[in-house]
Chains A and B, each alone.
Chain A
Amino acid sequence: MRKKLKDSIASILLGSITILAISPLIFIVSTLIGMGLKYLSWELVSTYPKNLGREGGIFNALAGSFILIAVSVTISLPLCLLAAIYLTEFLRDRRIKTIINSLVEILAGVPSIVFGIFGYYLFVYIFGFGFSLLSASLTLSLMMIPIMMRTIEETLKLVPQEIKMSAYALGASEWETAWSVTIRQAAPGIVTGVLLAIGRILGETAPLILTTGYNFRTPQSFLEGVATLTFTMYEYIELGAAYPELMGKAAATGILLISIILLVDFITLYLSKKLTKTILI
């Protein structure tokens, strides 16, 4: 009996700690909604900002986020895909494999602000791209490498050996097997990997502060600055002390941002639960 009692006391105690651990999530969401809901409107998502953002919407940021992500994926995906194919299908030496994997693993641990410093120094300053869409997307594409490469690698590994063997038996070379058999089998997993990377990168702010200038319009060239949802939040919060209404707009932007990221993450989770878990940690 005493043990039972102890168990239920422990259960209640630990349960309340768990609730305590989850509760900030509720506070965060309710604060955002409380401050931002009255600014959420069709006008917000469909018009360009006017008067330093005090009037008008954040269409520039919404479009900018999508453009930036699209360009970054276009740079990063081919590189990661080719690298992952080489790693899983052609590289035999286990030691080199481990070295490459740990280098990518270490890259995953680099703080985002350090990517920002690197991006600023190399792309903005040395290459002279300035604060631009190009500098920002190059920087983000580097940040995507670890997630994208690892997910693609994991999916390629999951393709059953027998399928490859049957291709070889039909006289296909390694190259042909990799491109027309393995890649096709792994296609859904590759999509998951890309979505996972997008979900992570949508929320990045620090590297953008140092690489993208702000832009009240959608950029017309790669060398123009670009606004994103996160960067708009940063801008509005920085200006928020002078113009309190911008804090409300920052909250509304935050609601949009969270909704988009959650949507992407849910699709990812739906596509592959296992893959998502291995990468998150």
Chain B
Amino acid sequence: MRRVSERIGVHVLRVACILASSVIVFIAIAIIVGALPILTSRGLELFSRTWDPNSGKYGILPFIAGSLFVVGVALMIAIPIGVLSALFVVEYSPRKIREFLESLFQVNFSIPSVIYGFWALVFIVPLLRESIQPFLSSTLGFIPLFSGKPRGFGVMAAGLVLAIMITPLIVAISIEVMKLVPEELKLSAYAIGASKTEVAFKITLRVAFPGIAAAILLSLGRAIGETMAVLWVTGNVAIIPKSLFDPCYVLTSVLVNEFGASVGDPYHTSALFAVALILLLISVVFVAISKMIILHMERKFRGRK
């Protein structure tokens, strides 16, 4: 008797396991099915430049361009700062300060994205509008990237807040992978007379490079999928931004602002599903690749020890 009930029990467990692991499959199917009507009826027209649901124009290129531009700006700022900070924590800081720094970076993960968004709205936007952007446009205004009216809202504000958000992530993962660099490698470099700086840049940074690349990919995936931090600061204008001062509209924001109201207009909903599909693909691919690299590095170095 005991056997039978146990066998049923194991079946229940199996069903739970299949359910939990197939959530991602359901999500993917739902979103692909949702996006099908617009993909089959408009095809490549979907990637045109005009988004105007009222007149039936569903070009999502402005959102793709907006997201890429904003995330590009964020990475340009976050990569050097994040990687160099990690290098400082691992190679230069004394042991006691190191733990303190690590936990300070950890605190950043506890701050919800809606708070970053709020702060960006009340702090970054006025700062950019009142001082930074007027200064940049008077000194570097001849470069197209810095042209336009200093509005505060736009690519620059969103890029900045995303950079601030993903820097701790880059730091934390880079620290983890830099710690994986075998001590023997560093010691042998010291033994032949290398300085701290040489070890840091020529050994640690180089050996940890794949892991750092993984950290960057992971934060790229996170940044593209980030919603609340950028919602209020991009300006939400569906144009293709050409300057850092231009307003823009990102993939996630249009979903928040329009999805609820779109139901009842099948093509509008479907176009938004297509936006969600792009988001899903980008973030899943980047996150998957980066996790694979990290796993590979861990195996390589932990295995050797």
Contacts and interface: CB of A to CB of B under 8 A. Distances in A.
A247 B17 contact: no
Contact of B27 (A115, A262, A281): A115
Per DSSP, chain A at the interface is helix
A3 interface: yes
A280 interface: yes
Contacts of A11: 88, 92, 196
Interface stretch (B58-66, B134-142, B167-175): B167-175
B189 to A, nearest CB: 13
Nearest to B232: A237
Interface of A: 3-4, 6-7, 10-11, 14-15, 17-18, 20-22, 24-25, 27-28, 31-32, 35, 78-80, 82-83, 85-87, 90-91, 99-100, 102-118, 120-122, 125, 142, 145, 149, 173-175, 199, 202-206, 209-210, 230, 233-234, 237, 247, 250-251, 254, 257-258, 261-262, 265, 269, 277, 280-281
B27 A261 contact: no
Which of A20, A79, A205 has the most CB atoms of chain B within a 10 A radius of its CB?
A205
B20 A149 contact: yes
A23 to B, nearest CB: 9
A90 B252 contact: no
Nearest to A211: B260
Contacts of B104: 22, 25
13 contacts: A7-B197, A14-B92, A15-B93, A18-B93, A18-B101, A27-B123, A83-B17, A110-B27, A113-B252, A121-B30, A205-B114, A206-B113, A261-B111
Contact of B112 (A18, A142, A204, A209): A204
Interface residues of B, number: 89
Contacts of A22: 101, 104-105
Interface in B255-284: 255-256, 259-260, 263, 272-273, 276, 279-280, 283-284
Nearest to B277: A114
